[in-house]
Amino acid sequence: MLTREELLNRFPALGEVEIHEAISSTNDRAIALAKAGAPHLTLVLSDSQSVGRGRGSRSFFSPSGTGVYYSILVRPKCAAEEVSRLTLLAAVATAEAIEEIAPLQVGIKWVNDLWVNRRKVTGILTEGGFTPSGDPAWAVIGIGVNVGKMTFPPSLAAVATSLENEAGCPLSRDDLICHMTERLLTRLADFPNGDYLDAYRARSCLVGATVEIARGEETYPARVLGIGDKGELLLDRAGERVSLSSGEIAHVTFHGNNH
């Protein structure tokens, strides 16, 4: 894996870099650093995670030697309601980086997963902290990418894959880390402005699909119409147009050539 010095020399905009052989969670470490006053654009990487986390308290499979486990601390200058859009920006930047190193087409499954051939290769988890007045104090964007050839546990085998599994050729984690960092730094420099929302829409792999939405105890089917101006999912629910800013997609049925 790249060294701290190599990354700081290549990307002078980075505030600090930590690289671990093993860690519980890169997001947990970056959050601790944020609370301790670490600078904007502090990067935490690890070869493996023992308790990698996804949305909704789910775990993220993080074995050694195969993935990129990457968290970047930002101190965004934006309104509180705009912080969640960092997930959209990170999804676009990571998809672009993957396509720069692999002969693959990457789609985005709302809101935080990247798919190749309708299986998950990347999960993104953004967590934030706020000042007493409610302004954003920091945000940590955690990105896990399945890169190398991988064999998944039975519970994941039907829904997850890796870049090498799909591309059929070896890929460099170091190359991906560099491309991810370059893309993220470029897009973060313009946040909350930039064309990331248009790019996110263009990669959305759910438009036209029928999905089952889960919100608390409620589940219901709906057809995906698109992505709204705040990153929300636009749905047709039994003939009524509704928007979803939070919730889980429990099942997807495709009807066309979605990614």
* pLDDT per residue rounded down to tens, the chain (259 residues): 899 999 999 999 999 999 999 999 999 999 999 999 999 999 999 999 987 776 555 667 778 999 999 999 999 999 999 999 999 999 999 999 999 999 999 999 999 999 999 999 999 999 999 999 999 999 999 999 999 999 998 888 889 999 999 999 999 999 999 999 999 999 999 999 999 999 999 999 999 999 999 988 899 999 999 999 999 999 999 999 999 998 889 899 998 655 5
Judge contact between 68 and 143, C-beta under 8 A. Answer: yes
Separation CA 187–CA 204 (nearest Å):
19
What are the backbone dihedrals phi and psi of residue 150, each rounded to the nearest 5 degrees, phi first?
A: -135, 145
Separation CA 27–CA 70 (nearest Å):
8
CB within 8 Å of 137: residues ≥ 6 apart: 34, 75, 128, 129, 130, 131
Q: Which residues pair with 253 in a beta bridge?
A: 210
What are the backbone dihedrals phi and psi of residue 168, each rounded to the nearest 5 degrees, phi first?
A: 75, 20
Cα angle for residues 131, 136, 137 (degrees, 5° grid): 60
pLDDT (0 to 100) of residue 56: 52
Query: 37 is written with which tokens?
Result: 């006053």
Separation CA 189–CA 76 (nearest Å):
10
pTM of the full structure: 0.94
